[in-house]
Structure 1
Amino acid sequence: MKIVTDYLDHSAELFPDKTAVVDQYRTVTFGVLKEEALHIASYIIKHFGRWHAPVCFYLDKSAYCISVMMGIAYSGNFYTPIDTKMPATRIEKILETLEKPLMVTDRRHLNQVEQFIGDLDVFCLEDAMHEPYDEKKVQKITNQIIDTDVLYVLFTSGSTGNPKGVIIGHRSVIDYIDWVTNTFHFDENTVLGNQAPFYFDNSILDIYSMLKTGATMYIIPQINFAFPIKLLEYMETNRINTIFWVPSALCLVVNLKAISKRHVNSLQNVLFAGEVMPNKQLNQWRREYPDALYGNLYGPTEITDVCAAYVVDREFRDDEALPMGKACCNTEIFLLDENDRLVTKPDMPGELCVRGTCLAYGYYNNPEKTRAAFVQNPLNHAYPETIYRTGDLVKYNELGELVYICRKDYQIKHMGHRIELGEIETAASSLLGVNQNCCIYDDNRHKIVMYYTGAVDEKELSAGLKSLLPDYMIPGKFISLKVMPLNLNGKMDRVLLKKKLEN
């Protein structure tokens, strides 16, 4: 497989009538998925003649999104998903960065798109589907695509809130999906339950594993995540056996006491990434589903979703940190200290750095940010070699496994001590009555602030932390929330919580 459209060609040939994607409204086979993609590709080639250019799509999450992604790829261009729930200001920044991308939408959303699109070219999905496709002409274009061509640009906000467009090529996705499908033994019998939005890189595992292996992917309706028992019933009804969710979604099922009320007999693989998974909630999943495989996957968008993984193979106390494991196949991970020296000893923190085919090309139209994060390997002075500096502080444990500490910008200096806020969060997560928690440093008042949810009061929480941490690490302020705010990706919204301190 050279480019990702080879996946769809292969699966459509082997399994033309097998279900590929299921959403709330329809079931789509691999044969239909390819036909829809060819309609989109033909329309772009015939009416716009774009090549190696950005094409955005503004659609509700559905099977049509997959058809559009593949159609854009067949046409020799690269895609950027824009969710219909994104704030207008964010959409405008994305379009400004991409510089006059082509826009795909549907008739339902055309009026909305016209309000922010300006003079951009736009077409409706329905028009493309009603116009005949020319497979030979599409194939002629697709034959010119090479594996280093760009496949997608996904926008990530990071800690600043300003979107950065991460550029990923075909080769990087193929390298990643080869590792995923081999490691977790995905095949045409795999049934994936998709949680991640399509503008979030966690969705890459679901989408391209399905396309490569002939697996089936269910797009779980978002509303189900607000009602965990219904969520589990949906999974059981549809015989979903593999999930790759953010930890917040897994914790919700536990925190709302749904996990023991509806068993999913088909469940075999529970994978998670995007933020720290607390062992307290993970242990409840493991007790309920002792025969399932649990995988802690780690990686920023800049390295094609995942660069390290740990398949849980032993017991952990609730107050222990779950390891990140080791580097994925064909990827190297190493730690650098503040002076760019290699860190090899256990329990010594260092910034996690990555090299390999997985690396993004940088940030779209943002050379300054690209130069800061994608740098020459300081350990190699003989020839050009790019590494990505993740900004994550990590250490090795005594088994040589990577263990996440926190973001570099979550490491603070407080009362003369260097403190990792992630260590406080791990301790709090183990306490009875704490469902979720997030530590923020109030720079103006020089105070550690903990936001938390759960049936525990401030005195109990403070006392519990004092039994686990030294006094200088105990937060100076506790703020109880009914609901922890989540960002568009379903992760705790640290940017919003930081802004609350400033108000």
Structure 2
Amino acid sequence: MERIVYSHVQQNPDAPAVVAENTTLSYSELVSEAIHLAELLSAKGIEFLEEPVGILLGPGLGQIVAQFAVRLVGATCVPIEPTLPELRIVDMLKQVHVRYLIAEKDGPIQLSDFQTVHLPRVGQTQPRSDWEFGPETDRSHILFTSGSTGKPKPVQIRAENILHLATRTPVTPLLQTDRVAEFNNPGFDLSLFEIWATLLSGATIVSVIFITAALFRITVSACPSAFSSLRHVLMGGDVANVQAIRSVFEHGPPQHLWNTYGPTECTTLAMMHEVTRADADSEQIPVGRPVGDMEIFLLDEDQRPITEPGLPGEVYIAGPQQAAGYFARPAETAKQFVEIPRPGHDIRNPGVVRAYRTGDRAQWRVDANVLDFLGRTDTQVKHGGFRVELGEIERALESHPAAHTAVVARQPPSTAEGTHALVAPNGDAQDKQAILRDIWDGHPGTCVMSSKDDDFLPASAATSLQGRRS
């Protein structure tokens, strides 16, 4: 990846790479900044290839410079949103054995457990051509997804996964005249598209936007014509809202509107569907067809292929964007990344393929090879595009000394989005808001939101709750 970005410097050094507030960096200037930071990292003592390096920065110029610098020294980017609770950040960084951390000198969180490299204000180093770029099979990123045990799962993503994303989808490679908005949480897999699909295409990070379906709906409700001047709008991370899409087509759509599907374990997106006006008049927006060389399999409970339209099955994903697995979690990797028989295999296509088991239910549409999303096979939910295991929320609630047992359930479809928790406390009644504040110290807002008077049940309800969960 770094070699391709370097080629843009050699071919068109003054082309804008990043536009941030009142600052514009050319590709040459971006690489200079990254080299300056990379040399600071090298001086600290990066000891081995693919060493995880924490990046405690929000979206923006610093995040882009930091990720490129980490890749220049052959290390692995571990971007963490700095607004997360400090205990949560420390736990995530220690899970993947981070020693070095890139952060703002005057940032809101200063962590003494790690050797911190402060983001320099201005790099003075000139671009060099003697960097030894690593192979495409190197691990480039570790991103976290929700875990049912209460600890987020670290997903290992290789450079070749991102290269396929940046070059083999219906919208990539981007045009050099494109400008891509970068505003997603850097620990969210959509940010890989925002940063790397842009830089690898020689485009500018600021006509293309990739947002969650929830944010798309909110934006459209405030300004239905907000996307009319853009070339591509990609939405993902949750089920597309048909009413919002209908409003966009009535008030001014972008040139191309895409519904995307894909978990972090398959590098941002594995399927895409270009949304049409006819889709806006339907009941559901399909998630589409595989991108590039990705493969989608719909299997029954015995892992037999489902080909008949309208029959539900579980989605399995294979192909060059598939992650290497979970960091230091061989059992979970073996459970989710499985070998399945390839339907209709021949000499060119071996009979067994490694695939990621998504836990998503879907069905084929009658009209060609297109999938409709139906829901989950487990208790996982989406909140703002993030995957959240209900078990993680339960473990968070039960981690408090005042809580005996907790059960979390989805809200009924007719009510507001989100989840509802029932908690049986230990002993006497507690200050509910104080309990929530304590839990918040170690868990993100996707796990803990608010309380109501009937959320906390008598301790005698503990046995019933345990039975309900089992």
Asked if these proteins are the same fold (TM beyond 0.5), I'd say: yes
Q: Indicate the SS of the match to 1:272.
A: strand
**Residue of structure 1 aligned with 2:302, choices 332, 339, 343:** 339
Matches within 5 A, 1:85-484: 85-109=83-107, 112-114=109-111, 117-118=112-113, 120-126=114-120, 132=125, 135=128, 139-142=130-133, 145-157=134-146, 162-180=151-169, 183=171, 186-218=174-206, 241-256=207-222, 258-259=223-224, 266-290=229-253, 292-316=255-279, 320-379=283-342, 385-399=353-367, 400-409=369-378, 449-450=412-413, 452=415
Question: 1:8: which partner in 2?
Answer: 5
| Percent of aligned pairs sharing the same letter | 25
Which has the larger share of helix?
Answer: 1
* Cα distance in 1 between the residues matched to 2:309 and 2:29: 52
Gap change, CA 1:444 and 1:370, over 3 Å in 2: closer
Relative to 1, partners in 2 of residues 1:132 and 1:311: Cα closer, same or farther, differing over 3 Å? closer
Matched position secondary structure for 2:168: helix
Q: 1:191: Cα distance to partner? A: 1.5
Structure 2: gaps of 5 or more residues: 383-389, 395-405, 418-443, 457-470
What are structure 1's unaligned runs of at least 5 residues? 219-240, 412-420, 423-439, 455-491
- Alpha-carbon contact 1:43-1:133 (below 8 Å) kept: no
Cα deviation, residue 408, structure 1:
1.1
Task: Tell me the alpha carbon deviations over residues 316-374 of structure 1, each in whole angstroms, 9 at most, x when there is no partner.
Answer: 35661100111111011011111111111111111100111111011112222211101
* Equivalent residue in structure 1 for 2:40, among 31, 38, 43: 43
Structure 1 CA distance for aligned equivalents of residues 163 and 352 of structure 2? 24
Does the CA contact (< 8 Å) of 2:59 and 2:183 recur in 1? no
Distance 1:410 1:156, change over 3 A: closer
Does the 8 A contact of 2:362 with 2:371 survive in 1? yes
In 2 relative to 1, CA 446–83 (structure 1 residues): closer, same or farther, beyond 3 Å? closer
CA-to-aligned-CA distance 1:442-466 (integer Å, 9 cap, x gap): 9979996347459xxxxxxxxxxxx
Cα pair 1:44 1:50 within 8 Å, conserved: no
Counterpart contact for 2:8–2:27, Cα < 8 Å:
yes
Q: Residue 173 of structure 1 aligns to a residue in which SS?
A: helix
Task: Provide the rounded CA distance (Å) in 1 between the counterparts of 2:408 and 2:59.
Answer: 42
Is the 8 Å Cα contact of residues 141 and 158 (structure 2) preserved in structure 1?
yes
- Aligned mates of 2:173, 2:132 — CA distance in 1: 33
Per-residue CA distance 1:42-89 (angstroms, 9 max, x = gap): 222233133320111112322121111011101011111122101112
Aligned equivalent of 2:57: 59
Aligned equivalents of 1:150, 1:108: Cα separation in 2: 30
The structural deviation recorded for 1:268 is 2.2
Q: Normalised by the size of structure 2, how large is the TM-score? A: 0.77
CA distance in 2, matches of 1:318, 1:394: 21
Contact kept? 1:83, 1:199, Cα under 8 Å: yes
TM value normalised by structure 1: 0.72
Q: Name the CA shift for 1:27/1:447 in 2 (closer, same or farther; >3 Å).
A: closer
Residues 282, 126 of structure 1: alpha-carbon distance in 2 compared, 3 angstrom cutoff: same
Of 206-215 and 292-301, more deviation after overlay is shown by: 206-215
